[in-house]
Amino acid sequence: MIFSFCGWCRTMSVVLLVVGVVIGVAYIYRHIVVKGKRCTSKAKLHGKTVIVTGSNTGIGKTTAIDLARRGARVILACRCKQRGEAAMEEIRRESGSSQVVFMQLDLGSLKSIRSFAESFLKSEPRLDILINNAGRTGQTEDGFGLMFGVNHLGHFLLTNLLLDRLKECAPSRIINVSSMAHNFGKIDFDCLNSHKALGLGTSFIRLLQIYCDSKLCNALFNHELAKRLRGTQVTCYTLHPGAISSELGRNTGLFLQIVLKPITTFFFKNTVQGCQTTLHCALQEGIEPLSGRYFSNCTVRDLFAKARDDAAAKKLWEISERLCGLV
C-alpha cells in the first residue's frame, strides 16, 4: 500500500508538472504572441482626413475610434446605411469627437464606388490616409467573384479615383489590409479573364483558397502601387492584422460560434489588438522608405517571391484597370 501510494504521488506530481508547463506556455503564447505589439506612435491628426472602409465593425471600427481620438476627421465608408450610421454615433461617443462622418460605399458595386469618390471629392478638401480594410464573400452586382471584387478590385478602383487628392495632400499614406493567408494564394489569370473571378466553386475548401488568392492580390497591388508612387510623397503599406476573433464569428453559424468561442477568446486577437499594425502603418514616423513593404505585429516582414513578382503585379494591375473601366 505504501509503495502504491508513493507511485500515485509520483504520477500526480508528473501530471501536475505537465499541466503547469502547459498553462505556462499557454499564458506566454496568449500574452506575447496573441496580444502582440502595440502601435507606439503619439501622432496627433488634427486637420487630417482619413477614410476607413468597412469601419462599422471589427478592426475597421476600432481603427476609426483610435484615429478619431487623435483628432482626425474620419470617414466611415460602409455598405449598410443603418449599421454605418449606428457605428458613427457609437464612435463619436467613444472617441469624444464629432468629426466622424458616414458615407455609403458598396465595394461590390463599381457604380457605388464611383459615386462615393465623386461625393467625397466634392465635399472633402483633404485626404491624408486611405485605409482599405473591408472584405466580403459572394458575388458582386457587376458579376465579379465577391472576394476578388471587394477584397481587391473595389479597393483598386477606389484608390485610383482618390489618388490625385492623396498626392495633393502629400505626405499621405495608403494602407492595404491583407493577411498572412496570401502565402497560400495563387492568381489564375485565365480564370480572371474568362470568369472575372479568382476561382470557381462554393465548397469551404474552394472558398478558403479564393480568400487566400484575394489576399495575394492585395500584396501584389501594394507592390505595383508603390512602384507607381515613387517620387510622389504618397506611400503605401500592406499588412497582416492577425487572427481576429470577431471577424471569424461574423461568417459562422450560432452553434459553431458557441463551440469556437473558448478557442477564439484564448488564441485570437480582439479588435483592439488586431488594429495595432494598421495604426502602425498609418501613423508611425519614419517608415516612408519602407513604402511597398509588408508588416505583421507592427514589424516589417519579408514577402515570399510570388507576392513581390513584378510581372504578376503588373499583369494584375492591367487586368484590374480593364475590368474597372479605367482604360
Q: Mind telling me the catalytic residues?
A: 211
Look at residues 95, 88, 48, 58 and name the one whose alpha carbon lies nearest to residue 282: 48
Which phi and psi (to 5°) does residue 99 adopt?
A: -90, 50
**What are the percentages of helix, strand and coil residues in the chain, rounded to 5?**
55, 15, 30
Among 290, 272, 166, residue whose Cα is nearest residue 223: 290
What grid cell was written down for 190?
485565365
Which amino acid makes up residue 49?
A: T
Altogether, the residues listed in the chain come to a count of 327
Contact, 221 vs 313, CB < 8 A? yes
Longest dimension (CA), the chain: 88
